[in-house]
């Protein structure tokens, strides 16, 4: 620094920052038994909010892996999560069958016969992911004014107009349907009977 003999202006540039921003470069991985989410698929998660959205909140059987993943995400923003498949893991279904749809690729590789169609004689739906969380869902199908579902269901008054049937050039007439999905126990939305 220079020395001034008479009055003058001395200009100095001083850096007052003493914190170096931390940049997360660590990528972690965890394998766990979560209560929701894709099975046998690696999914990249960047925050605790994403962890909850993809794998659900922790419970008595998943808290160890869940909180380990959450703790890593507090210091980093790149975690690869793999949900392990156990022998008892199944998707909830409306017909009480035992189905396992592991992830989207597994779903796309499966074929359903015409009789297995939700509009066919064997009306059934399967939860998106395996686990007990899907048991909270109620699916109601309304076709041409016919309501199929629980008589006390929230869905009964949810649809304002009946589906319409209309003629088409094809041999069979086409029919609109309404499908109402309800979180009956409130395990997904946090509020019982939310549509």
d(CA 24, CA 29): 15
pLDDT at residue 119, as a whole number: 45
The pLDDT tens digits along the chain (195 residues) read 566 677 777 777 877 777 666 565 678 999 988 888 899 999 999 999 999 999 988 989 889 999 999 999 988 888 999 998 887 888 877 777 777 888 888 877 876 544 544 444 455 678 888 888 888 888 877 766 555 555 556 666 666 566 666 555 555 555 677 778 888 888 888 888 888
Residue 102, domain extent: 91-183
pLDDT at residue 77, as a whole number: 83
Does 170 lie in the same domain as 103? yes
Phi/psi of residue 89, nearest 5 degrees: -80, 125
Does 129 lie in the same domain as 67? no
Q: What is the DSSP letter of 107?
A: H
Does 150 lie in the same domain as 98? yes
Give all strands of the β-sheet with 79-83 in edge-to-edge order: 28-32, 79-83, 42-45
CB atoms within 10 A of CB 15: 5
d(CA 98, CA 94): 10
Does 112 lie in the same domain as 70? no
pLDDT at residue 42, as a whole number: 94
The first and second tokens of residue 131, run together, are 């686990």
Does 179 lie in the same domain as 96? yes
In the chain, the number of structural domains is 2
pLDDT at residue 112, as a whole number: 53
Are 34 and 57 in contact by the 8 Å Cβ rule? The answer is no
pTM: 0.65
pLDDT at residue 114, as a whole number: 43
Does 116 lie in the same domain as 41? no
Please return the burial class of 93, using the count of CB atoms within 10 Å of its CB with bins 0-12, 13-18 and 19+.
Answer: middle
d(CA 132, CA 149): 21
Residue 54: inside a domain: yes
């Amino acid at each position: 620094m220079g020395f001034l003999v008479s009055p003058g202006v001395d200009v100095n540039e001083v850096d007052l920052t003493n914190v170096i921003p931390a940049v997360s470069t660590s990528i972690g991985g965890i394998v766990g038994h979560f209560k929701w989410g894709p099975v046998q698929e690696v999914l990249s998660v960047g925050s605790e909010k994403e962890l909850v959205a993809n794998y659900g909140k922790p419970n008595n059987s998943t808290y160890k892996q869940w909180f380990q993943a959450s703790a890593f995400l507090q210091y980093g923003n790149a975690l690869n999560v793999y949900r392990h498949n156990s022998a008892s893991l199944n998707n909830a279904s409306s017909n009480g069958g035992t189905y396992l749809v592991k992830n989207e690729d597994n779903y796309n590789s499966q074929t359903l016969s015409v009789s297995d169609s939700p509009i066919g004689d064997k009306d059934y739906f399967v939860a998106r992911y395996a686990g007990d969380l899907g048991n909270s869902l109620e699916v109601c199908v309304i076709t041409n004014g016919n309501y199929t579902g629980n008589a006390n269901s929230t869905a009964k008054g949810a649809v304002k107009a009946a589906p319409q049937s209309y003629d088409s050039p094809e041999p069979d007439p086409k029919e609109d349907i309404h499908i109402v999905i309800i979180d009956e126990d409130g395990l997904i939305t946090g509020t019982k009977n939310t549509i």
